[in-house]
Chain A
Amino acid sequence: MSAQNQHSPHVILRVVSKILIPLIALFALYVHFHGDYGPGGGFQAGVIFASAIILYALIFGLDEAKRAVPPSWVRICMSLGVLVYGGTGVATWMLGGQFLNFTVFAPESTHASGQHWGIFAVELGVLFAVTGAMVAIFYAFGSRVPELRDEDW
């Protein structure tokens, strides 16, 4: 970072958010994987993870954020989420059950571990899709340039 940036009025914000961003991302993963036992799950985790990226964009600017997380990745992330979710359903089809019947993953299990793994996979899809969608919405609104400049009126 250049000397000019260090003396900018945002230096505290930058330093603090640099510390916070990895923690937010980590917390997102905690919320996701702890979703089995407590409140949480893919959607909440996805929003929290996206908020880490959005915070980065707010503090360091949209261009920096787009360099760190390119829009093409965001699109792939969104689509991957849906594919993981739907793919779980396709896998249950392949194993001979109804769409999203997770029992087929472990039909012999006495404590429904098939359901457990199924939900786990599906929620992972939700995590990807929500993170991608949140960031994509932020990028879309953030990158809008007015079609008419003020002086053109």
Chain B
Amino acid sequence: MQVMSLFPEWILSHGAASIVVVPLLLAVITALNPSAKLAWATVLGVTALCVFTALGLLLQVMSYGPIHYNMGGWAPPLGIGYYIDGLNAPLLLLISVVAFLCTLYALPSVIAEVEPKKRGPFYAAFLISLAGLLGMVTTADAFNVFVFLEVSSISTYVLVAMGASRDRRALSSSFNYLIMGSIGATFFVIGIGFLYMQTGTLNMMDMARLLQEIGPGDRVVQLAFAFIVIGLGLKLAMFPLHMWLPGAYAYAPSFFTAFLAATATKAALYLLLRFTFTVFDPSWDYIATAVMILLAGMGIAGMVAASLQAIFQNDIRRVLAYSSVAQVGYMLLGIGMATTLGLTAGYLHMINHAIMKGALFIAVGAFWYRFGITQVSDMRGLGKTMPWTMAGFTIAGISLIGVPGTVGFVSKLILVEAAAENGWWWAIGVIVATSILAIIYVGRMIEKAYFKPVPQINDRPVLRNEAPLAMLIPLWVLALASLVFGIQTEWLTSMAEAAAQVLSAGPNTDIPGGAYILPKVTGGH
């Protein structure tokens, strides 16, 4: 492939490890760095490098197939293997791109929201959180997943709590998230422990191979599955386990909310997919039942209940947070169908939702930055006072509803097709009904912004005060992405199809052979 020559050989062969290690090490240096400007520049450089690496890895996976990387040269199952295939390569790129765009946005936003002394450590915590998410997605070692899950979660709790200089409620939200998140992580690691007990391995592919030998009748494996699904369900805000999410999204610093909303639940959802479909066997009775009844059922319940809750919120960030829970419902519904088309829809919606929610939260942060607006009722006249920001918000908003020509429409259409293929006609009804609910909660904000007069201060209308360029650029990149990928649907859809192929192929036992002798000096995989 011609494009591949753009990437240095080293990035291609060691990228799987460097995409995790570089943010982690530079986070430590950033933590010691007293200058907030320099810390920001470091983060920008690191995230740009991550985007570059992730792009190289994605192209490599698309042209040459999955990448294996043996940490320390020790071949799995003895050592920790990193594994990148069609399922996680797009997600790596997504997380990196969102991190890069959010970093651009961070420059003005962090100055406004975080105390000067805390800015350096703030950026350091962000890099750790990024490294944790990338690690969760890259690693093929079940226990390593847990470690990175905790790395990203603990830094996330800290970052949410840093919203306290703007709103003290950030502290209680962060504590709430800490408790729920820790329960989730504990459940997950209990599940991994049970699997380890039964298989004696932690490598996912080796685990899948041994689970095939054990078969579907094993009670401990069944228990492990239950613990893993509930643990990850907490992390990805599956409907009744989503209570931590609105508070965390609403009171975190707005830069971090945008990043969190676009990436954190996606990484957990990826893990759910990875475990359910490629470690366990989805053709086993109890797993097929759990996927169909639990995931699809909770997905549907979440779509309806969270959309209704979103309508009755007055804080913009809480509206969008409840909407996130509802959108996770769409993804789970697609996954719950367990067909290739359904999985494509779920995966595509995961990517699309990151684009839309990233843009929306960036715009909301800009409203606060200029006018201190957090309530829907205060959005009056924003179409005139912040026309460009509001236009970006509107594009992402109509994409959230699913208007044709936007990414939201593409994934919802595939979801409807998948439901029709399965004969789940009632599901189509729910999708349409919740889209109407989305029209209400998004429309309410757009109506306030464009059809209500500009508020008066001292008998004079508020002057136009556009968001700074550092906020507008990431907002518009994401807003345009939601239009471009809504019209040029090929690219994202084919990636989602490739991911769905990986999932439909069943348990992945593709473990690179290797004698368990001392590691040899070899480059790459």
Give A contacts to B, CB under 8 Å. Answer: 75-76, 79, 82-83, 86-87, 89-90, 93, 96-104, 107, 112, 115
A115 touches B518 (CB 8 A): yes
In this assembly, does B209 line the interface, its C-beta being within 8 Å of a C-beta of chain A? no
A79 touches B28 (CB 8 A): yes
Of chain A, the residue at the smallest CB distance from B121 is A75
In the bound complex, how far is the Cα of B523 from the Cα of A93, in angstroms? Answer: 9
In the bound complex, how far is the Cα of B521 from the Cα of A100, in angstroms? Answer: 11
B25 touches A103 (CB 8 A): no
Of chain B, the residue at the smallest CB distance from A112 is B518
Residues of chain B within 8 A (CB-CB) of A93 are: 14, 18
Of chain A, the residue at the smallest CB distance from B31 is A79
CB distance from B44 to the nearest CB of A (A): 20
Give B contacts to A, CB under 8 Å. Answer: 14, 17-18, 21, 24-25, 28-29, 31-32, 69-73, 518-524
Residues of chain A within 8 A (CB-CB) of B17 are: 98-99
Residues of chain A within 8 A (CB-CB) of B24 are: 82, 86
Kindly list the 5 A-B residue pairs having the minimum CB-CB distance in the complex, ordered from nearest: A101-B73, A100-B72, A99-B17, A86-B25, A82-B28
CB distance from A82 to the nearest CB of B (A): 5
Given contacts A83-B25, A86-B21, A86-B24, contact A101 B519 (CB under 8 A): yes
CB distance from A21 to the nearest CB of B (A): 28
Residues of chain A within 8 A (CB-CB) of B31 are: 75, 79
In the bound complex, how far is the Cα of B315 from the Cα of A106, in angstroms? Answer: 61
CB distance from B247 to the nearest CB of A (A): 20
CB distance from A102 to the nearest CB of B (A): 7
A99 touches B521 (CB 8 A): no
Residues of chain A within 8 A (CB-CB) of B519 are: 97-98, 101, 103
B29 touches A100 (CB 8 A): no
B25 touches A101 (CB 8 A): no
A86-B25, A98-B523 are known; give 11 further A-B pairs, CB within 8 A: A76-B32, A82-B25, A82-B28, A83-B25, A89-B21, A90-B25, A98-B17, A98-B69, A98-B519, A103-B73, A103-B520
Given contacts A96-B523, A99-B14, A99-B17, contact A83 B29 (CB under 8 A): yes
Residue among A76, A79, A82, A99 having the largest count of chain B Cβ atoms under 10 Å: A99
Residues of chain A within 8 A (CB-CB) of B70 are: 98
Residues of chain A within 8 A (CB-CB) of B521 are: 96-97, 101, 103-104, 107
In the bound complex, how far is the Cα of B15 from the Cα of A98, in angstroms? Answer: 11
Given contacts A89-B21, A115-B518, contact A75 B32 (CB under 8 A): yes
In the bound complex, how far is the Cα of B120 from the Cα of A75, in angstroms? Answer: 13
CB distance from B121 to the nearest CB of A (A): 9
In the bound complex, how far is the Cα of B512 from the Cα of A98, in angstroms? Answer: 16
Of chain B, the residue at the smallest CB distance from A72 is B32
B28 touches A98 (CB 8 A): no
B28 touches A86 (CB 8 A): yes
Given contacts A82-B25, A90-B25, A104-B521, contact A99 B32 (CB under 8 A): no
In the bound complex, how far is the Cα of B523 from the Cα of A86, in angstroms? Answer: 18
A102 touches B72 (CB 8 A): yes
Of chain A, the residue at the smallest CB distance from B27 is A82
Residues of chain B within 8 A (CB-CB) of A87 are: 25
Of chain B, the residue at the smallest CB distance from A93 is B14
CB distance from A120 to the nearest CB of B (A): 15
Residue among A83, A97, A98, A104 having the largest count of chain B Cβ atoms under 10 Å: A98
Of chain A, the residue at the smallest CB distance from B14 is A93
In the bound complex, how far is the Cα of B517 from the Cα of A103, in angstroms? Answer: 12
CB distance from A52 to the nearest CB of B (A): 24
In the complex, 28 of the A-B residue pairs with CB atoms within 8 angstroms, ordered by the A residue number, are A75-B31, A79-B32, A82-B25, A82-B28, A83-B25, A83-B28, A86-B21, A89-B21, A90-B25, A93-B14, A93-B18, A96-B523, A97-B521, A97-B523, A98-B69, A98-B72, A98-B522, A98-B524, A99-B14, A99-B17, A99-B21, A99-B71, A99-B72, A100-B71, A101-B519, A102-B72, A104-B521, A115-B518
